[in-house]
Amino acid sequence: MDKTMVDSARNLMKELLPEIADFMDDIDELEQFFDRYNYEHSTHFDVQCGSARMCLVCDTFVIKWDYDLTNVDDIGGCWDECAAYQTIKDSPFAYLFAEAVMFKIGWNDFEVMPRIQNVGYKPNALATWLTCDEFRFVTDVTSDLHSYNWGIVNNKPCIIDYALTADVRDRAGTDW
């Protein structure tokens, strides 16, 4: 990943953290804050909430942080996703996953990845976009493959949420 992207994400969170630290686990408060922030600073940040992590969507990158530790144990969090990327980054199928890099500010752990376009509803299932070998590899890494967890880059899927790995499933003791 471009070092400037990680530096930009870190600098942005250093600026924002003093203002949002008390409600980083509250999607309603975050949305209200960023509505005001966007208006006052002419920015276009968006906040999204998953079962375990929050995401700050910026123009070129996304910053994630864990907010529900029980769900992180069950379905994975930032550390799980970054660890998974480290194991797949040298594979022939790494292009199917958005690169994930951790950074820390004080006691807070954050993850940054490039912003991937076309995330959300798609008329075709993920499997229709992949070869058999690609699909086998992707499903060996993660099983949480609904349409809001992948987008399209260069006419190929790019997985943006792959924290639910075999290690997480083993840790949670759940049969997914």
Q: What is the pLDDT of residues 32-80, one digit of tens each?
A: 999 999 999 999 999 999 999 999 999 999 999 999 999 999 899 999 9
Q: What is the pLDDT of residues 98-118, one digit of tens each?
A: 999 999 999 999 999 999 998
Angle, vertex CA 65, rays to CA 7 and CA 44, nearest 5 = 65
CA distance 168 to 176: 10
Residue 86 above 50 pLDDT? yes
Q: Is 114 helix (H, G, I), strand (E, B) or coil?
A: strand
DSSP class of residue 107?
T
**Global pTM exceeds 0.85:** yes
Residue 175 above 60 pLDDT? no
Q: Which among 80, 95, 102 has a CA at the least distance from the CA of 165?
A: 80
